[in-house]
Structure 1
Amino acid sequence: MSDSTARPTTERKDAVRFRSTSLALVGVLTIGLAACTGAPADTSADTATDTPSPGDGHGAIAGAEEVAEPPLGLTAIDPTGTVTHLDLLDESVTGIGEIAAPRAMTTDGRYLFADVGDGVEIVDSGVWTWDHVDHFHYYRAAPALLGAVDGDGSPTIATTNSSTSGGIGISFAGSGDAVLLDTEALSKGEIREQFRLQRDPHTGLVVPVGSFALITEAVDGVGARVVGYTAEGEPTGLEETCAAPAGTRTTRVGAVIGCADGALLAHVDDGELTVERIPYPADTPAGAVASFDNREGRPTVAGLASPTDIRLLDTRARTWTLLTAPAPLVHVTAVDDEDGHLLALAEDGRMLVLSAADGSLIAETAPLVAASLSEGAAPVLVADQQRAYLSAPSEKRLFEIDYADAARIARTFDTPTDPAFVAETGR
């Protein structure tokens, strides 16, 4: 699909196409100068029927300033828990505070959800975009540390495309607790649990879908089905089998949940929670996709069932495309642009640009993150409509890559410390 109607964005600061910069900012913040100058995801080509009905206020909250363009920024948590925000419009840096040292982090583009070992600490970046289908509203407020949601065991977090309405799901593997947070309350600085349900402990999911949620339930410690609940924690009566549920991503069409035999697509129709089953094509090798990734807001998601088994799900067409990777991979993400680009990180540290039609290799970089992968660090690969960003923790660098121009390295940023947990915010 064409990106010609993408929302406005700040001009990229890459007039000098090839340079390496050592910045005096806090190490993790140096990432933001490259990673967040990309244009926001193009969602305007999608239809209104795929977006929740807009509420009053157009995403505004008390005390927030509406601004004329996306307030793009980088909110970062370093390995010790220091939280900072880099404004990419004027490059100013704001210290937000300190949290416990994180083990992992999830983001929805406004909030950062940090796994700190005994729960989830929540950071509000203070910048967000509200999608009104045919146009957008942009807001800026004071960033803040909002507090923690207590829980036992590793949390799995699922978000939606809205930072002012709906819910945020947290599934704690140790206790089995299924928690749904109220996003509207969160946007006003309050952590409010809409429900906390007890389940058998397992690595599961709590997936918000409009004013509902789907939660996984286990048999013998392994997820076996998903069950529908209202935001108040009452069962809806909806239940679907889903062997080994893993991986979820919300698109403009609905929320995807991976299962061993395909995926479930959940959305709300006429006020009712609806789940569609999208099975793999016949004779597809068994295997669940552990995680899905895509360019924010696009309908197609991508995941790996094995290092060379790429699976693309078009949530609009309800169809799978199965591809064989040209090399073993550790991550894949769907750009879903009109040229059909698919980005992948190979086990040897190369970023590959592949065709989403047949999996063929279009372009590749050198092994940019070989040391990180060999040392067990976790590079992050993010795609927007113009660039890809690849973090290199062990190499202490971030690469900005023009994937549409033969995987050209547009900019390289050296960082004094490893780029641990970062999120592009404001879109």
Structure 2
Amino acid sequence: MPHPASPRRLAPLGALLIVALAGCAAPASPADMPTEPSADTHGEIAGAAELAEPAVGLTSIDGEGRVSHLDLLEETTAELGSVRPPLSMHSDGRYLFAADETGVSLVDSGVWTWDHVDHFHYYRAEPRLLGEVEGDGVAVVATSNSSTTGGTGLFFPGSGEAVLLDTEALSKGEVVETFRLQSVPGAGLVVPAGSFATVAAGGEVTLHASDGSTIGEAAPCADPAGTVTTRVGAVIGCRDAALLVTVADERPAVERIPYPAGTTAPRATAFANREGRPTVAAVAEGVGVWMLDTRERSWALLPTPEPVVQVTAVDDKDANLLALTADGRVLVLDGETGALRATTAALVGASLAGGQPVSLIADQQRAYLSGPAEGRMWELDFADDARIAREFTPERTPLFVAETGR
């Protein structure tokens, strides 16, 4: 059973000097930005400028830890500084969490969207390196859909330490641990849900308040792997089911969504979707794609024209589903039947063959694909026959890429 420790406040790395490349547009200066949030903040913080449209960009980290931000509206690039060379990276659409064997480095891209369900607000502030969280082993990171409230979970497999960060503090440039619990070394997750968090490790999941205190009874979860947050709740992948963590009336609850009876398809171990959407996708290795509808609390197994190695659900009105083949092609599939709608050429075959990380990210209109070995990033119009809308050749080859600002 995890045991709580005292909250810890970690020193930031300091203010970030942004070096704009030749021809780059400079970010808004602090003098141009409001100093106080409005009464109805909608995710706004002091020092951030509200925008008329999302400041969408691709924020990336290369193999040496150098961080860059490509503004997709202006097509300009800014260098944001350096972190330790990462072995993995996770993003919530604003922050980048770059993990290595000794901890996690945190980067604030400075652009984000506040989802107010029926409308959105868009913000920009100065990007910065926030600091580091120490830990043993390459951390598994889990985030919510809010970059200004709630928490961010880190699980360090080497030590079994489960850490919850204060996301509101991150938005103010501070790295604050609200709890650090000792759990079981090995596979594990810390998954935020509202002001609570779930720790999955050692064959069970436990619910915790933000101070680390345990709430209610533990639930079984063998071999935890894979998590994503939808508009409905937070998903945790277990060997024989998914757990859905929801919060209503300030009370958390855990629901079990078992795989269909009699299925022999491999379980889901990684989930991906267009941020916030209720339906998520996961590879059923060698068989097809698992689709999990968190509204309906149901699974569907879709056959695919060929084996795929990565998937993400767009979950739009046309039920588009994107998949990546082993030879580096992006497939546009029907998310209800698995039928092929369109395909690209083999864009990232060298990266996949070399075991390098490939990012496939979907938003409402476009998808973004990166190939470290190819030194390229592509913008794809999946609704237009998987057309390549733009191709980028960054000066520094990105190893990990996140879409930020949306």
State the TM bucket, normalised to the shorter chain.
0.7 to 0.9
Instruction: Report Cα offsets for 1:243-274 as digits up to 9, x if no partner.
Output: 21110000000001111212111110111111
Aligned to 1:69: 53
Q: Is the 8 A contact 2:358 2:400 kept in 1?
A: no
Query: 1:98: Cα distance to partner?
Result: 1.7
Query: 1:392: Cα distance to partner?
Result: 1.8
Aligned to 1:264: 243
Query: 1:75: Cα distance to partner?
Result: 2.2
Query: 1:365: Cα distance to partner?
Result: 1.7
Q: Is the 8 A contact 2:100 2:139 kept in 1?
A: no
- Name whichever of 182-191 and 403-412 sits farther off: 403-412
Query: Within 5 A, what are the aligned runs for 1:11-410?
Result: 57-218=41-202, 224-285=203-264, 287-410=266-389
Moved over 4 A (4+): none
Question: What is the rounded CA distance, in whole Å, between the counterparts of 1:301 and 1:384 in structure 2?
Answer: 13
Letter in 2 for 1:248: T
Of the three residues 378, 381, 397, the one matched with 1:418 is: 397
Question: Alignment partner of 1:192: what SS?
Answer: strand
Aligned residues: 372
Q: Is the 8 A contact 1:260 1:287 kept in 2?
A: no
Larger relative contact order (CA 8 Å, sep ≥ 6): 1
Instruction: Report Cα offsets for 1:387-415 as digits up to 9, x if no partner.
Output: 22221221222222222222222333334
Instruction: Report Cα offsets for 1:338-396 as digits up to 9, x if no partner.
Output: 11111100112211111111212122122222111111112211112222222122122
Question: What is the rounded CA distance, in whole Å, between the counterparts of 1:115 and 1:189 in structure 2?
Answer: 19
Question: What is the rounded CA distance, in whole Å, between the counterparts of 2:57 and 2:395 in structure 1?
Answer: 20
Question: What is the rounded CA distance, in whole Å, between the counterparts of 1:182 and 1:81 in structure 2?
Answer: 24
Question: Alignment partner of 2:352: what SS?
Answer: helix
Aligned to 2:33: none
Q: Is the 8 A contact 1:264 1:275 kept in 2?
A: yes
Q: Is the 8 A contact 1:72 1:89 kept in 2?
A: yes
Alignment RMSD:
1.9
Letter in 2 for 1:232: D
Query: 1:100: Cα distance to partner?
Result: 1.4
Q: Is the 8 A contact 2:369 2:377 kept in 1?
A: yes
Question: What is the rounded CA distance, in whole Å, between the counterparts of 1:95 and 1:182 in structure 2?
Answer: 26
Question: What is the rounded CA distance, in whole Å, between the counterparts of 2:387 and 2:56 in structure 1?
Answer: 23
Question: Alignment partner of 2:253: what SS?
Answer: strand
Question: What is the rounded CA distance, in whole Å, between the counterparts of 1:403 and 1:25 in structure 2?
Answer: 31
Question: Alignment partner of 2:188: what SS?
Answer: coil
Query: 1:152: Cα distance to partner?
Result: 0.3
Question: What is the rounded CA distance, in whole Å, between the counterparts of 1:69 and 1:413 in structure 2?
Answer: 22
Letter in 2 for 1:361: L
Query: 1:217: Cα distance to partner?
Result: 2.5
Query: 1:416: Cα distance to partner?
Result: 4.5
Call closer, same or farther: CA 1:72–1:400 in 2, change over 3 Å.
closer
Query: 1:418: Cα distance to partner?
Result: 2.8
Aligned to 2:6: none
Query: 1:25: Cα distance to partner?
Result: 6.2
Q: Which runs of 5+ in 1 are unaligned?
A: 1-23, 30-54, 219-223
Question: Alignment partner of 1:386: what SS?
Answer: coil
Query: 1:417: Cα distance to partner?
Result: 4.3
- Name whichever of 296-305 and 157-166 sits farther off: 296-305
Question: Alignment partner of 1:86: what SS?
Answer: strand
Q: Which runs of 5+ in 2 are unaligned?
A: 1-19, 25-38
Letter in 1 for 2:243: L
Question: What is the rounded CA distance, in whole Å, between the counterparts of 2:111 and 2:395 in structure 1?
Answer: 26
Question: What is the rounded CA distance, in whole Å, between the counterparts of 2:121 and 2:240 in structure 1?
Answer: 39
Q: Is the 8 A contact 2:359 2:401 kept in 1?
A: no
Instruction: Report Cα offsets for 1:51-92 as digits up to 9, x if no partner.
Output: xxxx95221112112222212223222211122333334344
Sequence identity percentage = 60
Call closer, same or farther: CA 1:411–1:141 in 2, change over 3 Å.
closer
